[in-house]
Amino acid sequence: MNARQSYALVALTLALVGCAHGPIRGRLTLPERAAQPATINYESSVFGKTGKLWTRLPTGETFTGPYALDPAAPGKTLVTTLAGDAGNSMLCRFTLNEPGVGPDSGGSVRCEISTGGTFDADF
Phi-psi region of 44 (alpha: psi -120 to 50; beta: other; left: phi over 0): beta
pLDDT band at 4 (very low <50, low <70, confident <90, very high): low
Confidence check: pLDDT of 78 > 90: yes
Counting every residue, how long is the chain? 123
Phi-psi region of 105 (alpha: psi -120 to 50; beta: other; left: phi over 0): alpha
Asked if residue 10 is part of any domain, the answer here is no
pLDDT recorded at residue 46: 80
Asked if residue 4 is part of any domain, the answer here is no
Asked if residue 30 is part of any domain, the answer here is yes
Asked if residue 71 is part of any domain, the answer here is yes
pLDDT recorded at residue 12: 46
* Chain segment 12-51, per-residue pLDDT in tens: 444 444 578 999 999 999 999 999 999 999 999 987 789 9
* Chain segment 53-75, per-residue pLDDT in tens: 999 999 899 999 999 998 888 78
The domain containing residue 27 runs over which residues? 19-122
Query: Pick from 79, 75, 21: which is nearest to 51 by CA?
Result: 21
Asked if residue 56 is part of any domain, the answer here is yes
pLDDT recorded at residue 15: 45
pLDDT recorded at residue 75: 82
Please say whether the beta carbons of 22 and 5 come within 8 A.
no
pLDDT recorded at residue 90: 98
CATH number at residue 116: 2.40.160
User: How many domains does the chain divide into?
Assistant: 1
Asked if residue 44 is part of any domain, the answer here is yes
Asked if residue 77 is part of any domain, the answer here is yes
Asked if residue 80 is part of any domain, the answer here is yes
* Residues 88-107, mean pLDDT to the nearest whole number: 92
